[in-house]
């Protein structure tokens, strides 16, 4: 049975842990608000580029290799966005498990796929399993800028245009709410979902004039659009990360409170038992003197 000193020590250490988890919860809540606002403000920019690209792809005879699916898919890339730190519940584990299951279902050997990873957790996960990592980037800022991922995004697009990969998928956690994240797979390249159905459904048919011509616009705009999709997914993933960490730290704080209550109960019972034992010894000693 634990002594009073041992129980008191556990109570003290649990209270310190609770202070840490509570502080991390508050910090994550503040970062979540900033990350969510940044992700939401970037979305209209990406959507506008998409509208222009869709207008060219569906309304003119212009074509581009990034808009065309290849006859044979020899190699597929997976760009996986994870965090650099843990303590965020199932944010990383759920995503990495989904990516592993997807790879195992679609591919028979490592010659058929490659991995591009953002985040230390994902980098270490894939390296430990000796999986083919073509690019990696870690230590991304909590409030990333476009410049932070410009190089890896541009290189990813180049690997598609150079036919290193025949298709590229994005795997990340989509932010639904502070307590809910959705593991998402999006095809980054080729951009084959411009079928015009969105425009017809919304009735939005803007007219654009292109200078010098549609092909020249696509040549410049498509790589930038693909890069913006990567950046948008990163912002979305950051909001999801802080939401998951806030939720995890909230649960840890609640568990610490419950544990402190249980330890206090044990401490009071043990102290009461000790006092009762002392009283019994005093009474027994007094009886022996009579």
Name the helix (H) or strand (E) containing 80. Answer: strand 76-81
Domain with residue 179: its CATH number is: 3.40.1380.10
* 7, part of any domain: no
Q: Is residue 10 situated within a structural domain? A: no
Tens-place pLDDT, residues 228-241: 999 999 999 999 99
Lowest mean pLDDT among 40-44, 202-206, 242-246, 278-282: 202-206
175 occurs within a structural domain:
yes
- CB-count burial class (<10 Å; 0-12, 13-18, 19+) for 118: buried
User: What is the per-residue pLDDT for 67?
Assistant: 82
| Highest mean pLDDT (candidates 4-8, 100-104, 227-231, 272-276) | 100-104
Q: Tell me the pLDDT tens digit for each residue of 173-221.
A: 999 988 889 999 999 888 877 654 444 444 555 666 777 777 777 888 8
Whole-angstrom Cα distance, residue 218 to residue 59?
13
- CA 2 from centroid of its chain's CA atoms: 42
Distance CA 36, CA 25 (A): 16
Residue 205 structural domain:
42-248
How far CA 259 is from CA of 15, 104, 167, in Å, comes to 9, 41, 50
pLDDT per residue as tens digits for the range 14-72 = 999 999 999 999 999 999 999 989 888 888 888 888 887 777 777 666 677 788 888 88
Instruction: Work out the average pLDDT over 147-156.
Output: 90
Residue 263 falls inside a structural domain: no
pLDDT score for 271: 84
**pLDDT at residue 270, as a whole number:** 83
What is the share, in percent, of the chain residues with pLDDT greater than 70? 90
Decide if 174 is inside a domain.
yes
Distance between CA 198 and CA 84 in Å, rounded? 36
Q: Which residue has the tokens 């796929």?
A: 113
Q: For tokens 């980037």, name the residue.
A: 137
Distance from chain centroid for Cα 120: 12
pLDDT tens for 114-123 read 999 999 999 9
Number of domains in the chain: 1
Residue 254 falls inside a structural domain: no
Reading the block at residue 254, the tokens are 């609640």
Task: Please indicate, yes or no, if residue 286 is contained in any of the structural domains.
Answer: no
Span 68-127, pLDDT tens digits: 888 888 999 999 999 999 889 889 999 999 999 999 999 999 999 999 999 999 999 999
- Residue 61 has what pLDDT? 64
Structure tokens at 27: 């910090």
On whether residue 58 sits in a domain, the answer given is: yes
**Number of Cα atoms under 13 Å in the Cβ half of residue 91:** 32
């Amino acid at each position: 049975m634990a002594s009073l000193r041992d129980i008191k020590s556990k109570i003290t250490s649990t209270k310190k842990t609770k202070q840490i988890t509570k502080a991390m919860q508050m910090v994550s809540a503040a970062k979540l608000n900033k990350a969510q606002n940044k992700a939401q403000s970037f979305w209209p920019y990406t959507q506008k580029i998409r509208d222009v690209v869709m207008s060219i792809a569906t309304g003119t005879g212009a074509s581009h290799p990034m808009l065309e699916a290849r006859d044979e898919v020899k190699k597929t890339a997976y760009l996986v966005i994870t965090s650099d730190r843990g303590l965020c519940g199932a944010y990383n584990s759920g995503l990495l498990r989904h990516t592993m299951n997807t790879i195992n279902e679609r591919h028979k050997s490592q010659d058929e796929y490659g991995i591009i990873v953002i985040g230390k957790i994902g980098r270490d996960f894939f390296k430990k399993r000796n999986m083919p990592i073509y690019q990696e980037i870690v230590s991304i800022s909590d409030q990333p800028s476009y410049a932070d991922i410009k190089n890896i995004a541009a290189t990813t697009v180049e690997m598609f245009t150079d036919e290193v990969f025949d298709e590229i998928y994005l795997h990340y956690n989509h932010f639904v709410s502070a307590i809910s994240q959705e593991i998402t797979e999006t095809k980054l390249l080729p951009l084959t979902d411009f079928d015009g159905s969105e425009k017809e459904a919304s009735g939005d048919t803007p007219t654009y004039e292109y200078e010098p011509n549609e092909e020249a616009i696509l040549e410049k705009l498509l790589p930038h659009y693909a890069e913006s999709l990567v950046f948008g997914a990163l912002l979305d993933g950051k909001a999801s990360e802080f939401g998951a960490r806030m939720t995890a730290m909230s649960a840890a704080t609640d568990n610490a409170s419950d544990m402190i209550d249980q330890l206090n109960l044990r401490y009071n019972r043990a102290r009461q038992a000790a006092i009762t034992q002392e009283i019994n010894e005093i009474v027994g000693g007094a009886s022996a003197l009579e």
